[in-house]
Chain A
Amino acid sequence: MTSEKALFIVFAVIAIASALNIILQRNPMYSALSLIGTLLSLSALYLTVRAQFIAAIQIVVYAGAIMVLFIFVIMLLNVPTVQPQIEKQKGLRYLAIPFAGALIAEMFFILRRVPPRSLPVVASALADQAVGTTWSIGVGLFTGYLLPFEVTSVLILMAVVGAMVLARREGD
């Protein structure tokens, strides 16, 4: 077993365990922290497939900026530690089973359609040059994917302006 595979297993287990912890915890602060754990181990997984840029951006943007805002909000709301059991809509609980079943069925369908062995494996020395570097992503963004990139940025700008308009109080 190569060291990369060992690292993959370690971080995959951490990612799944903390992802489970997000939904199992009652305290929102612990859930948010588990989400950070998931994001960090995902970033480590990106590193094992030599996508350094994506790994760094994953931490800077998601773990560093967005999750800080989440924790900020949780701190400000000051939720009580003992959560009341959420028992309002009991009917929804039984709906969860068919939905989860459908999701798992879809997953198996996709896995059967694309057997993992058929994915092209790039030679590791070449992959180091080609896939995850800042240079290759920059070139990709500003040549082949220029239009989607610009459209996305306009979309984000619209979201920012919309948020400001919505958050502004009357009479300001």
Chain B
Amino acid sequence: MTNLLLEWVIKTIVILLILVTAVAYVTLMERKVMAFIQMRVGPNRVGLGKFKLWGLMQPLADGVKMIFKEDIVPLQANRWLYIFAPALSLIPALMTFIVIPYGSEITVFGRTIQLHVTRMNVGLLYVLALTSVGVYGIVLAGWSSNNKYSLLGGLRSSAQMISYELALGLSIVSVLLYAGTLDLVYIVEQQSVWPGHMGWNIFRFPLMFVFIIFYIASLAETNRTPFDLPEADSELVAGYHTEYSSMKFVMFQMAEYLNLITASSIATTLFFGGWNGPFVGRLPILGPVYFTIKVLALIFLAMWIRYTVPRFRYDQLMRFGWKFLLPASIVNIIISSTVILFWR
């Protein structure tokens, strides 16, 4: 029992450290990809002394800079909620990752270690629950700042997330119909059936269309362009975090990038076979490698979309969510259940 507890603690700490580092470097990746798409060079100066290292030290410099910024709490703001809001948006984002499997199992020092922090039979619902709790951070930030731009950003964000949560949840139902379980570990194991561990859900008939719906809805859930209306800079200054500075602002940014990483990981788990790939049965250490590659590819896709597609107008966003994505995901459920009923 103590051994198991120790294993959990170690896994959690390792995951936490990896996530926090990954967030820092995803910001660098974002800037590099943006620069690449806009035919610029991007940050390439910050290195270690004489060695430029392609700007790899940029996130560290950013972090140090942000820590030394003045931490401002507006006079008319609701002080406690204003301080509480960034934490409320960061903590659920960090908690999500414990149910995502990033490998099968490896043997270290003669001890078999499962490469996921925990498995629960409501894994996917756990993720959805945490996403819905994460809305409060944004809403409360918008309200407590006592600023009309912030309030509008918070309102828009909550409306958007509630609307797209429906499409997201319903598109997941089709995957669940195939898997027959909510346990993410089991969902990934099911996708390792074909030769070479390539029985990914994305290759099944209706699920490839479900992925498109899922991906659009998850982009909207993570407030990324073309759905970044909560912080549309041209009309709302910066949306819900207009008044925030220093580390509180960083916490919102971290939550945003963590949500991007989580969304990509969930997409990988549900549609791209998680840690599955060639030779993973013989060499289980390849699992985390495949997982990381797939997640990075999906993150790149999100960035690619961000710098190529313009922002939606608010009414377009709502119409698209309710009149197209929601009916489309319901139709997909019907098609998937029909296919499962007659061809399996």
Contact = CB atoms under 8 A, between A and B. Distances in A.
Interface string A14-44: 0000000000000001000100100010000
Contact of A134 (B122, B139, B140): B122
B342 to A, nearest CB: 20
A1 to B, nearest CB: 16
Nearest to B130: A59
Given A63-B132, A68-B158, A133-B121, A56 B139 contact: no
Contacts of B158: 68, 71-72
A60 B130 CA distance: 8
B136 A71 contact: yes
Nearest to B144: A29
B143 A134 contact: no
Interface residues of A toward B: which range? 20 to 34
B135 A68 contact: yes
A64 interface: yes
Given A63-B132, A65-B132, A56 B151 contact: no
Contact of B162 (A59, A63, A68): A68
B185 interface: no
B39 to A, nearest CB: 41
B128 interface: yes
Given A59-B132, A63-B133, A76 B155 contact: yes
B60 interface: no
B contact face: mostly helix, strand, loop, or mixed: helix
A75 interface: yes
B125 to A, nearest CB: 4
Given A52-B120, A134-B121, A134-B122, A72 B129 contact: no
Contacts of B120: 52
Contacts of A76: 155
A53 B182 CA distance: 10
Given A56-B126, A68-B162, A134-B121, A75 B136 contact: no
Contacts of A36: 136
A75 B162 contact: no
Interface string A64-107: 11001101100110000000000000000000000000000000
Contacts of B154: 75
Interface in B74-91: 78, 81
Interface in A131-155: 133-135
B155 A57 contact: no
Nearest to B126: A56
A57 B132 contact: no
Given A29-B143, A76-B155, A134-B182, A68 B122 contact: no
A42 B167 CA distance: 27
Contact of B133 (A52, A55, A64, A72): A64
Contacts of B78: 29
Nearest to A52: B122
Contacts of B121: 52-53, 133-135
Pairs A-B, 4 closest by C-beta atoms: A64-B132, A56-B125, A59-B129, A56-B122
Interface of B: 78, 81, 120-122, 125-126, 128-133, 135-136, 139-140, 142-143, 151, 154-155, 158-159, 162, 165, 181-182
Interface of A: 29, 33, 36, 40, 52-53, 55-57, 59-60, 63-65, 68-69, 71-72, 75-76, 133-135
20 contacts: A36-B136, A52-B122, A53-B121, A56-B126, A57-B125, A59-B130, A60-B128, A64-B128, A64-B133, A64-B165, A65-B165, A68-B135, A68-B139, A68-B158, A71-B143, A72-B155, A75-B155, A134-B121, A134-B122, A134-B125
